Structure 1
Amino acid sequence: MKNINDRISSKDILIVLGLFLMVFVTGADSFIISPLLPSMSGYFNTSVSRVAYGVTIYALCYAVGSPFFGPLGDRFAKKRLLMVGTLIFMCGTFLCGFSTTLTSFYLFRAVAGIGASLLLPNIWAFIGSYFSGKRLSMVMGVVMAALSLSIAIGVPLGSSLSQMSNWHMVFWASGLLALLAGMTMVATIPMIPATHLSVSYLGNFVTVKKTKNAIPSLLITLFWMFGFYSIYTFLGTFISNQFNFSTGQIGYVFIAYGLGNFLASFFGGIVNNQIGITRSVRLNGSLSILTIILLSLSGNGLFLLIGFLICLAIFQGLGVSALNTFIVNVVPTNRSTVMSFNSSFLYLGLTAGSFIGGLIYPTYGYLGVCLLAAFGMCLSVGMTFVLKES
């Protein structure tokens, strides 16, 4: 008979729905810009590359803001911070749609990034503090699946909305979805007071630093994302060169990857509960390494390439959801702080992977990038053996 503590109540379902919607909209906010770049560059009368800096500014504000705001989630009720983060993100996104100059667009993208940096770490921290046992793993997987879904449909969604009206509509729709998610969270998430008000702001950082598995766990995220994003960044270019695909055709390949990753993340909690959280990180990390190597050897076999990508999507979905579930419990008293650093390490891995991959790709091609990705994943899996038993 199923333990009552493992059941998800109707109220919990509404909580998860609100969190899912918010994670989806913050994730899609990066991807939906891609198909809008040509029309936006025409509107602002500038180059596509300059408009694309809006993505960089959003990511940079997120990466810098996360550790700065992290300790606030351990000192104040997370619901209040989620509401403030939603308001900031929603305003920034709405205002992007009203931008009349490139400078104002950059400014509003920065506002949206700051809002997201307050939102996401506290979403993961709230899940870790509100849910426990098997429910924690299941809910973490379901909510993380929203990021995968944003990858799968972010680009086509942005294209469709833009074609229906114009690029302004995309940001207004994103802001409305954030408003809906925020209203759902206001109505369902309980106001749980913080229990560590006596700890100083800097004391939260000290606690995380001194906790035995905190730094190794964050390094797992860093190396994992370094490996993943080095291969992901240049995947579209490789497909275009190898198969002479158009941008639209490349998009279908990304949709296949995103949907595979979504399904793996969505059901990841069930699978990871059976495997074990730490074991799942090691197993799926190792299988990712093998798949990346096979991917580099796929040559001109399109269906073989897609098959390996779907496998990689599954292993990544299961592994990352297990990794987040593990990290959120590394420092139970400072979940917001450690998850904010986890977000920053993620973006640091993304930046390093795409940068170093950019140095390797022109000379060694996608094979070199795949070997770089496999090396990063090896470091990540190796760090799991540094973890000490609780």
Structure 2
Amino acid sequence: MNKIITLFFLIMFFIGTDTFIVSPLLPILRESFGISIEQSGWIVSAYALGYALFALIAGPLSDAWNRKKVLLFGLLGFGIFTLLCGFAVDFWTMFAFRLLAGISAAFASPQVWAAIPQLVQPHKVLKAMGVVTAGLAFSQMLGVPIGSYLATAGWQTPFIMIGCCTFLIVIWTAVLLPALPPSIQKQKALSIRNRYRSLLQGSTPKVAFLAYFLFQLGNFAAFSFIGTWLSDKFSLNVANIGTVILFLGLGNTISSLFGSSLVNKVGPKHSLIYGVIFIGLLYLLLPYLPSVTYVEITYFLIFLILGMIFPLMMSMLQTLSATARGTVSSLANSSMYFGTMVGSFTAGMLYAHSGGFISVSLFSVICFGVSLILFLRSGVLLGLRQK
């Protein structure tokens, strides 16, 4: 069983690395393809668009399929299209390959989360979830910086390496993972629309998911242009940008290991309020910092807090339904990636035409503030207290 959890950890590590690697590469990609800042944002948006659209159907549909086969096909497509990103010759071929990689990831990653309860003993599920979640945190702490260092040999290198490593993961998955037959009848799997309709009855779930979307909108608007801002303000190359992101990932990793105990002590409501306010203040301060050292410290603190808030938000959303947790996860993933798509596009417009990173940070802070208000007004915190 430990081998399977290690496999799942590596799957999420490589998917996470591929998701986040584009941000530090944007300055190089912009120069290589001869595109504007606004267009470069769409390289991030393409992956997010593919994931967001297909996550809505991939999760519910896969409940009626053999999860192992879905995972294998998703990983194979992810590896192929990520590898092809390394051979993109212009903006539009890169856009197409990122879109297809996002679609493939939308089919692969939900199978990991859904397979854990099928394979792991009930009293070990939470621990297994924590280990697999750490794969995403480590992708920020190690995967993205390593990819940035590899990019010094050419921006194509990280995509080719991730693609090749994914093919090895596909082979390991085929050999190690047992068959995972569907848990529901196919006839029931056809009622996807009804499941979403049932989930979104009443105002609480609608407001809660809108709040989550707005939070991710602000989060990824700021994240998408980290590399561009660091390059423009401090003249950092791609390897130096990777070092900054190492501190970002370090904060997220530490939080994933110890954040839950702090949230339990402070309480969900106060953790959410204080965390969002603190992040907002740090983002307002960020554009005015005079040196890279201060930027690294600030990003460490931001992602230390974000690592506590994300699981809290997901826990709140999971209280919305005890019988449709897969659908909740699919909608949450789609909300996050729609936020990524809209956020990176909006950030590109603001960065190019409205004062650079200062306007992007202000936009993110506004999104965080509105999100916090909506979360508090939705009543979803009441469900978390009753668990």
- TM-score for the superposition, normalised by structure 1: 0.77
Which residue, out of 165, 185, 188, partners 1:177? 165
Which residue, out of 5, 28, 39, partners 1:16? 5
Identity across aligned pairs (percent)?
A: 26
Give the distance between the partners of 1:294 and 1:105, measured in 2 at CA. Answer: 33
The aligned amino acid for 2:109 is L
User: What is the Cα deviation at residue 105 of structure 1?
Assistant: 4.2
Which residue, out of 249, 253, 256, partners 1:262? 253
Question: Which residue of the partner structure matches residue 150 of structure 1?
Answer: 139
Render the CA deviation track for 1:212-269: whole Å, top value 9, x for unaligned.
775455334313312322443455566667x64534555433221111112222x15x
User: What is the Cα deviation at residue 177 of structure 1?
Assistant: 1.6
Give the distance between the partners of 1:167 and 1:357, measured in 2 at CA. Answer: 22
Deviates more, 1:25-34 or 1:278-287: 278-287
The aligned amino acid for 1:319 is I
- Alpha-carbon distance change, 90 to 354 in structure 1, aligned in 2, over 3 angstroms: closer
The aligned amino acid for 1:315 is I
Matched, 1:204 2:192: yes
Deviates more, 1:181-190 or 1:356-365: 356-365
1:16-95 equivalences in 2 (<5 Å): 16-33=5-22, 46-47=34-35, 53-95=42-84
Question: Which residue of the partner structure matches residue 85 of structure 2?
Answer: 96
Matched, 1:320 2:289: no
Question: Which residue of the partner structure matches residue 3 of structure 1?
Answer: none
Question: Which residue of the partner structure matches residue 213 of structure 2?
Answer: 222
Matched, 1:138 2:132: no
Whether contact under 8 Å (2:230, 2:236) holds in the other structure is no
Whether contact under 8 Å (1:85, 1:119) holds in the other structure is yes
Give the secondary structure class of the aligned counterpart of 2:191. Answer: helix
Which residue, out of 369, 381, 386, partners 2:380? 386
Deviates more, 1:50-59 or 1:283-292: 50-59
Whether contact under 8 Å (2:44, 2:224) holds in the other structure is no
Deviates more, 1:85-94 or 1:208-217: 208-217
User: What is the Cα deviation at residue 339 of structure 1?
Assistant: 1.9
Matched, 1:253 2:241: no
- TM-score for the superposition, normalised by structure 2: 0.78
Deviates more, 1:151-160 or 1:85-94: 151-160
Q: For structure 1, which runs of at least 5 residues remain unmatched after alignment?
A: 1-10
The aligned amino acid for 2:163 is G
The aligned amino acid for 1:341 is L
Render the CA deviation track for 1:47-71: whole Å, top value 9, x for unaligned.
4766764433222111111113222
Deviates more, 1:153-162 or 1:174-183: 153-162
Give the distance between the partners of 1:237 and 1:305, measured in 2 at CA. Answer: 14
RMSD: 3.8
Matched, 1:296 2:284: yes
- Alpha-carbon distance change, 37 to 245 in structure 1, aligned in 2, over 3 angstroms: closer
Matched, 1:369 2:363: yes
- Alpha-carbon distance change, 314 to 70 in structure 1, aligned in 2, over 3 angstroms: same
User: What is the Cα deviation at residue 116 of structure 1?
Assistant: 0.6
- Alpha-carbon distance change, 208 to 136 in structure 1, aligned in 2, over 3 angstroms: farther
Count how many residue pairs are aligned between Structure 1 and Structure 2.
373
The aligned amino acid for 1:232 is F
The aligned amino acid for 2:101 is A
Q: For structure 2, which runs of at least 5 residues remain unmatched after alignment?
A: none
- Alpha-carbon distance change, 127 to 219 in structure 1, aligned in 2, over 3 angstroms: farther
Give the distance between the partners of 1:252 and 1:354, measured in 2 at CA. Answer: 22
1:335-374 equivalences in 2 (<5 Å): 335-355=325-345, 362=354, 365=359, 368-369=362-363, 371-374=365-368
- Alpha-carbon distance change, 108 to 232 in structure 1, aligned in 2, over 3 angstroms: closer
- Alpha-carbon distance change, 288 to 132 in structure 1, aligned in 2, over 3 angstroms: farther
Give the distance between the partners of 1:129 and 1:216, measured in 2 at CA. Answer: 31
Whether contact under 8 Å (1:79, 1:191) holds in the other structure is yes
- Alpha-carbon distance change, 295 to 326 in structure 1, aligned in 2, over 3 angstroms: closer
Give the secondary structure class of the aligned counterpart of 1:71. Answer: helix
Give the distance between the partners of 2:86 and 2:231, measured in 1 at CA. Answer: 31
Render the CA deviation track for 1:289-326: whole Å, top value 9, x for unaligned.
22422552475465665444322212211221343455
Whether contact under 8 Å (2:27, 2:227) holds in the other structure is no
- Alpha-carbon distance change, 359 to 55 in structure 1, aligned in 2, over 3 angstroms: closer
Whether contact under 8 Å (1:158, 1:170) holds in the other structure is yes
- Alpha-carbon distance change, 360 to 41 in structure 1, aligned in 2, over 3 angstroms: closer
User: What is the Cα deviation at residue 174 of structure 1?
Assistant: 1.0
User: What is the Cα deviation at residue 85 of structure 1?
Assistant: 0.8
Give the distance between the partners of 2:115 and 2:208, measured in 1 at CA. Answer: 19
